[in-house]
Amino acid sequence: MCAGCRRDLPLCLSACPTCALPGTGGALCGRCLKHPPAFDATTALYCYDYPVDRLVHRLKYSHDFGVAVALSQCVVRTMAAPAVDVIVPVPLHVGRLAERGFNQALEIARPLGRAWQIPVVARGVTRTRVTADQVGLSWQARKKNLRDAFDCDISVNGARVLLIDDVMTTGATLGALAACLKKAGAAAVSNLVIARTPLR
C-alpha cells in the first residue's frame, strides 16, 4: 500500500483508551465507565468506514491475503511493538473455520508477530461453540450470545496478552475472550484491532 493510500485511510482518533470508541476526546466512554470490560485497553488503527470496510470485506469474503499483509504493515508503520508476552488472534469455531477456510485474525497476527518478534498462539485458545451471527444484535444480546464461548488450554499465568481481530463493533467478543484468558491467569489483556465501528 503506497503512502498516499495509507494517508487516505480513516484513522481512529480521540478514542476511549479502554474500548477505542472514537470521538470521546481520549476519555473513557460512558459504557466503559458504567460496565468496565474484562480487557484493559484497546488500540484501533482505523474507523470502520470507507475504504477500510471494503478492505476487510475483501480479506474475509474474497480470500485476499494480500490485504492482511498490507494492513499488518500499516500497523507496524504506525505503532511500536507493544509490551506483551504473547499474541492471541481471536479464534473462529471449527465449523466457521471449515466454512471460511482461514481465520482472518490469524492472517493479520502472523506478520505482526514476525515484525515484533512476539510469539503468536494459533492453537490452545478455542471458540467452544457456534454463536449466532452478531450482526444486528444489541450490546447486551451480543454479550449473552458469547457467554462461555471460549476456552483456554495453554498456560497464560502472569502473561500480558494482546488479542488481535479485524473489526471491533461492541467489544463483546473481545470482552468474552479476555474474561476467559484472565480466568486462566493472564495478568493483562489488551486488544489491537484494524478497525473500530463508530457510533451511528
- Identify how many contiguous H helices and E strands the chain contains and give both numbers: 8, 6
Q: What is the pLDDT of residue 47?
A: 96
User: What is the rounded average pLDDT of the residues 88-103?
Assistant: 92
Note if the pTM is more than 0.85.
Answer: yes
- Could you check whether the bond before residue 51 is cis, i.e. omega within 30 degrees of 0? yes
Q: Which three cell numbers stand for residue 154?
A: 495453554
Domains (range + CATH), the chain:
41-131+139-196 (3.40.50.2020)
Q: What is the pLDDT of residue 143?
A: 57
Measured between alpha carbons, how far is 5 from 3 in angstroms, rounded to an integer? 6
User: What is the rounded average pLDDT of the residues 144-168?
Assistant: 90
pLDDT band at 103 (very low <50, low <70, confident <90, very high): very high
Quick: pLDDT tens for 21-48: 999 999 999 999 999 999 999 999 999 9
User: What is the rounded average pLDDT of the residues 98-117?
Assistant: 96
**Chain mean pLDDT for the chain:** 91
pLDDT band at 128 (very low <50, low <70, confident <90, very high): confident
Measured between alpha carbons, how far is 155 from 52 in angstroms, rounded to an integer? 35
* pLDDT of residue 134 exceeding 60: no
Farthest CA pair distance, the chain: 44
Q: What is the pLDDT of residue 102?
A: 95
Quick: pLDDT tens for 181-194: 999 999 999 999 99
* pLDDT of residue 17 exceeding 60: yes
Q: Which three cell numbers stand for residue 65?
A: 491475503
pLDDT over 90 percentage in the chain? 80
* pLDDT of residue 138 exceeding 70: no
Measured between alpha carbons, how far is 169 from 137 in angstroms, rounded to an integer? 10
Q: What is the pLDDT of residue 90?
A: 97
Neighbours of 43 (CB within 10 A): 18
